[in-house]
Amino acid sequence: MAVPVRLSEYAMDAARQAPSARIESMISLGGSNIALRVMIYRGYISDLQPLVILNSVEYPMPPSVAFCEQMWANGLQVIFIERPGFGSSTGMPRALFTGELIEKGATASTEAVLIHKLIAQLELQPFVLLGMGSANPVCYRLSLISDRVSFSLFSNVVFNKDILDVFRPRWLQQMFRQMVHSQAGLKIASAGIKFRLRRKPLEFYRLLMHQSPGDVRYVNNNPADFVAAGQLFQHIDHATLDYDMRMSLKPDLILKDGLFAGRNAVAFSGTETPDHWRLQLDSEAERLGIPVAYAPHGDFLAPYASADFLLSLIQKHAGLNLASST
């Protein structure tokens, strides 16, 4: 059943009484059998500029309450979309998960259309789009098809460079190689990651992000979110995981020379990102015609670890006068 998004005055009053709540709703997409879980900060669509964030496989949780509250105080309302096949969100039809459709980008394009339909139902426009990690192939496509996107940020990307070659730490690199090599490799490697996340989720994320003090600080400040992320990963649909890894770790046919030239978009990374990754990103960004912005803190989670820097970019590129809101 579709959840009303613009709440009654009674419901809005209740939401305002708990202003720090990351309130989640299941929203059915009209004309389909798909329902997506959406976190709307403070529980109702406000008059603030929407900041729409799509989850990644590496960290499928919404940003912290502190981050959401900082955005709110500066005129932005965080709306976090749990993508199809993650958590409680319905997976896409199995027919879309053939190797051919995934490699051609048809699966990611279909997902972008579904997210676009959700955005229309929420009546959001214009909005700032923030893609995190493995969500970026969907975000590229959403930014190209939606006239509601005023500014796009693609975080933690290297586009069509060999991500597996630059990925660190090396033990996770080997797991990722297994995951894209074969279905058997995917099952073995994902089972290994799930085992680590079941036993010691915080240790897993600290190890994954150990090269970035900003990311580790974010983990330490939000331990419950990372425990929940470890639990959510246990239930990611196998077909969704296969598709997400393929689109993230193999060349994407849509990324042609000059794709983003003249578009209001930025590739977002952190100065704590390893040098080999940054060199690859700079090279690809030049080919695609998109500027790169390096935040002072963070790597995987640079937008969350450098919220002040993120706000300054949005203010510059989205043409906003970010005003305080209560």
Contact 51, 320 (CB under 8 A): no
pLDDT of 19 reads: 44
Q: Which helix (H) or strand (E) holds 35?
A: strand 35-41
Model confidence pLDDT, tens digit, residues 98-134: 999 999 999 999 999 999 999 999 999 899 999 999 9
3-class DSSP string for 234-267: CCCCHHHHHHHHHHHHCCCCCCCCCCCCCCCEEE
Which residues fall within 8 angstroms of residue 185, CB to CB, at 6 or more apart?
177, 178, 179
The pLDDT value recorded for residue 261 is 96
- Report the DSSP pairing between strands 292-295 and 265-270: parallel
Nearest to 57 by CA among 210, 227, 232: 232
Confidence of residue 166 (pLDDT cuts 50, 70, 90): low
Residues 104 and 108: their CA atoms lie apart, in Å, by 9
Domains in the chain, ordered, with CATH?
A: 9-317 (3.40.50.1820)
- The contacts of residue 32 (CB under 8 Å, 6+ apart) are 114, 117
How high is the pLDDT of residue 184?
Answer: 83
| CB 27 within 8 Å of CB 5 | yes
pLDDT digits (tens, 9 = 90+) for 264-273: 999 999 999 9
Instruction: Flag whether pLDDT at 2 surpasses 50.
Output: no
